[in-house]
Chains A and B, each alone.
Chain A
Amino acid sequence: MHYMNHTQVQKRMSTRLLKNYLAKLLFLLSTLFGLVVLAALIYRVVTQGVHWIDLDFLINRLSTDPKKAGILGAIAGTLWLMAVVAPITLIIGVGTAIYLEEYAKKGRFQRFIQINISNLSGVPSIVFGLLGLTVFVRGMELGAVILAGGLTMSLLVLPIVVVAAQEAICAVPQFLREASYGMGATKWQTILNIVIPAALPGILTGVILALSRAVGETAPLVVLGIPALLIPLPDGLFDKFTVLPLQIYYWTLDSALVAEYANLAGASIIVLLVILFLMNSLAILIRNKFQRRH
C-alpha cells in the first residue's frame, strides 16, 4: 500500500514551483517598494538642496536673505541638545537598567516597571512636549532654553536607552558573573568590573540610537516654543536655541513667502540626514567591533 502517488506529484510539480517563484517575487517587491520610496525622497531633496550646500551655508548664521542664510545656529543648538541628552540618558538609563536586571527581584513590581517602560516608549512625542512645557518651561520657569529642551528630549528617549542597556546587560553571560562571585567579589564589584565593561558596547549603541532619535525629533520642541528665527548663537544651558529639524520646519512653512527657503530646507535636510547616517554608522561600528567577544 503506497500513500505517495508519484504521477500525481509530478502533475502538481509545476504549479508548486510557480507558487514558489511568486512568493519570492512578492517579498522582493515589498523590499524594493521601501527602497524606491527612499530613493525618490533622497533624489528630490538632493536635487533641491545640494547646490545650496557650501561652507558658508554651514558656518553662516541665520538670515532673512536666503543667499546669506546659514545653519550654524541650528547645528550649535543640536550639539548643545546632545550634550544635555547624552549624559542624562546614559546615567539614568543605565542606572535603571542595572537596577532592573541585577537587583530587582523578578516579581510583580519588576513587571510593573517593565510594562511602564514599554508603554512610555509608545507615548507620542508631542505628549512629552506638553510635559516639558508644563514642568520645565513653565513649572521651573526655565523658558524655552537648551536645558528645558534637553530634559524634555531625555525623557522622550530614556525608554530606548533603558531597553537597550537592559538587553546588553542581560546578554552578559551568567558564567562571567559566577566567576566573579566565586572569588568573593561583591555584587557591586561584579557589576562595575565585569558586567558593565561587557555590556558597554550594547549600551553605547543604545545611547547613540537614542541620541539620533533626539536629534531628529521635532514635535516636542515645537510645543516648548523653540523659535526658528534666532540670530545669536547659544553659548550656555540657559540660552535660547534652535535645532535642525525646527529650522527645516519653519523654512518649509515660509517657502510660500520666499521660494528659496524650500532650497534651504532641502539643504538642511541633507545635512541632518548625513549627521543621522554618521551616528547610526558609529553605532553599528561599535556593535560589530565588540560583538565577537564572548
Chain B
Amino acid sequence: MGGKNMAAVTYSANPVEVFVTSREETATSVAGKNAVFSVRDLNLWYGEDHALKNINLELKENEITAIIGPSGCGKSTFIKTLNRMVELIPSVRIGGNILYRGKDILAKSYKVEDLRTRVGMVFQKPNPFPKSIYENIAYGPKIHGIRNKKILDEIVEKSLRGAAIWDEVKERLHENAYGLSGGQQQRLCIARCLAIEPDVILMDEPTSALDPISTLKVEELVQELKKDFSIVIVTHNMQQAARISDKTAFFLSGEVIEFDRTKKIFSSPADKRTEDYITGRFG
C-alpha cells in the first residue's frame, strides 16, 4: 500500500503541471498497480463549446475512481469518452490521447466495438432491453458470437450472481425485464455488462434514479466488483464518492481541479474550489 500512497500526487489546475505530475506517477506506479487508462491532454468540443480542457489522469487497475463535480462540469462527457460513446453525439471533436492498456483508443485504427467489449458501461437510467431477463444478459455474449445454449446459460447465471441479483430473478429468467423494480433493473444492467467480461466498468451516475435502499445495494455491489474490475464512477452524490471510491477526481467547467486519494480529497483538499464544493458551498 505504501507504493500506492506515494503514487498519489496532488494535481493542480495548471495543465502543464498536471501533465508533468502524471508522468511522474506513471513512473512510480510500476511498483504499484498498472494503469488501465492514461489520459493525456484530452480536449473535447461540442461544436464551439469546449467541454473538456486539458484532462490528464491515470486510472489504475482494481481501483474505484469517482468523478465528482457540479452539473455541466463535463464528468459524464469524460466517462463517455473512455468508451467513445461520446461519438454518438454529432459535432463532437476530440484532441489528445487516451491510452487504454498502452494503446491509443482515439486512433483511427482502434475498433470502437473492440474497445466497448473491454470497457463496459452502466448508464444513469436503468436501460434494460424490452426482452426477457435471460435475453438481456445473453445479448452481449450473443453479439460476440457465442451460440452454445449451455455456455449462455452459464454466463447468465454467473453474471446475475456477480451482480447479486440471481436469487431475486432465478425463478423468472424468461419474464420481461420491465417487470423488475428500478433498483433490480439497474443491477440487471450491471449483470448485462458483466456478461461480456469487461476489464473496466464505467458507471455514469448509476444510482441517481434509485431509492436509498437500492442505492445501498448497488454501492455494495460496486465494492464487491472492485476485486475483478477497474471501475470509474460518475456521481452527483459526494457521500457516495467518499464511501466507495479509492481515488476521486473533481471536475469543474471541463477541467480537472484535483485528483487524489479519496481520503485526502475529503479530509484535506489542496484546492480551495474542491473544498468549497465538497463542503456544499456550491454545486
Interface residues of A (CB under 8 A from B): 105-106, 173, 175-186, 189, 193-194, 197-198, 293-294
Across the interface, do A184 and B140 meet the contact criterion of CB distance under 8 Å?
yes
Across the interface, do A178 and B123 meet the contact criterion of CB distance under 8 Å?
yes
Interface residues of B (CB under 8 A from A): 83, 85, 88, 90, 113-117, 120-121, 123, 125, 127-130, 139-140, 143-144, 178, 189, 192-193, 196
Q: A178-B88, A179-B189, A193-B143 are known contacts. Are A185 and B129 too (CB-CB below 8 A)? A: no
Contacts of A184 in B (CB 8 A): 113-117, 140, 143-144, 196
Pick the contact of B83: A105, A180, A182, A185 (CB < 8 A): A182
Contacts of B120 in A (CB 8 A): 182-183
Pick the contact of B123: A106, A179, A193, A293 (CB < 8 A): A179
Across the interface, do B143 and A185 meet the contact criterion of CB distance under 8 Å?
yes
Pick the contact of A179: B90, B114, B129, B144 (CB < 8 A): B129
Q: A184-B117, A185-B143, A186-B113 are known contacts. Are A176 and B196 too (CB-CB below 8 A)? A: no
Top 7 nearest A-B pairs (CB, nearest first) are: A184-B117, A184-B116, A175-B127, A182-B121, A183-B140, A184-B113, A179-B127
Bound-complex Cα distance A106 to B193 (A): 31
Bound-complex Cα distance A294 to B178 (A): 8
Pick the contact of A293: B127, B139, B178 (CB < 8 A): B178
Bound-complex Cα distance A194 to B135 (A): 12
Contacts of A293 in B (CB 8 A): 130, 178
Determine the residue in chain B with the shortest Cβ distance to A187: B113
Across the interface, do A183 and B192 meet the contact criterion of CB distance under 8 Å?
yes
Q: A106-B90, A186-B113, A189-B143 are known contacts. Are A181 and B85 too (CB-CB below 8 A)? A: yes
Across the interface, do A294 and B130 meet the contact criterion of CB distance under 8 Å?
yes
Bound-complex Cα distance A223 to B143 (A): 50
Shortest C-beta distance, A166 to chain B (Å), equals 18
Determine the residue in chain A with the shortest Cβ distance to B87: A181
Determine the residue in chain B with the shortest Cβ distance to A105: B90
Chain A interface mostly helix, strand, loop or mixed?
Answer: helix
Across the interface, do A182 and B114 meet the contact criterion of CB distance under 8 Å?
no
Bound-complex Cα distance A173 to B113 (A): 21
Bound-complex Cα distance A173 to B125 (A): 12
Q: A183-B117, A183-B193, A293-B130 are known contacts. Are A193 and B125 too (CB-CB below 8 A)? A: no
Contacts of A183 in B (CB 8 A): 116-117, 120, 139-140, 143, 192-193, 196
21 A-B pairs in the complex with CB atoms less than 8 angstroms apart: A175-B123, A176-B127, A177-B88, A178-B85, A178-B123, A178-B127, A179-B192, A180-B129, A180-B139, A182-B85, A182-B120, A182-B123, A183-B117, A183-B120, A183-B139, A183-B196, A184-B113, A184-B114, A184-B115, A184-B116, A293-B130
Pick the contact of B116: A106, A175, A177, A181 (CB < 8 A): A181
Determine the residue in chain A with the shortest Cβ distance to B202: A182
Contacts of A189 in B (CB 8 A): 143
Most central of B83, B90, B130, B196 by chain A CB within 10 Å: B130
Determine the residue in chain B with the shortest Cβ distance to A292: B178
Determine the residue in chain B with the shortest Cβ distance to A293: B130
User: Could you list 12 further interchain pairs (A-B, Cβ under 8 angstroms) beyond the known A176-B127, A183-B120?
Assistant: A177-B88, A179-B127, A179-B189, A180-B139, A182-B121, A183-B193, A184-B115, A184-B143, A186-B113, A186-B143, A189-B143, A198-B130
Bound-complex Cα distance A190 to B139 (A): 10
Determine the residue in chain A with the shortest Cβ distance to B178: A293
Bound-complex Cα distance A151 to B182 (A): 49
Shortest C-beta distance, A188 to chain B (Å), equals 10
Bound-complex Cα distance A185 to B111 (A): 11
Shortest C-beta distance, B119 to chain A (Å), equals 9
Shortest C-beta distance, A178 to chain B (Å), equals 6
Most central of A177, A178, A180, A181 by chain B CB within 10 Å: A181
Shortest C-beta distance, A37 to chain B (Å), equals 42
Shortest C-beta distance, B92 to chain A (Å), equals 13
Contacts of A180 in B (CB 8 A): 129, 139, 143
Bound-complex Cα distance A140 to B95 (A): 56
Shortest C-beta distance, B204 to chain A (Å), equals 10
Determine the residue in chain A with the shortest Cβ distance to B130: A293
Shortest C-beta distance, A220 to chain B (Å), equals 39
Most central of A106, A173, A179, A189 by chain B CB within 10 Å: A179
Bound-complex Cα distance A185 to B143 (A): 6
Most central of A176, A177, A183 by chain B CB within 10 Å: A183
Contacts of B143 in A (CB 8 A): 180, 183-186, 189, 193
Bound-complex Cα distance A105 to B192 (A): 30
Bound-complex Cα distance A61 to B116 (A): 63
Contacts of A173 in B (CB 8 A): 127
Determine the residue in chain B with the shortest Cβ distance to A186: B113
Bound-complex Cα distance A197 to B135 (A): 13
Bound-complex Cα distance A178 to B193 (A): 12
Contacts of A182 in B (CB 8 A): 83, 85, 116, 120-121, 123, 193
Q: A181-B88, A184-B143, A189-B143 are known contacts. Are A194 and B127 too (CB-CB below 8 A)? A: no
Shortest C-beta distance, B85 to chain A (Å), equals 6
Determine the residue in chain A with the shortest Cβ distance to B144: A184
Bound-complex Cα distance A78 to B128 (A): 43
Contacts of B115 in A (CB 8 A): 184
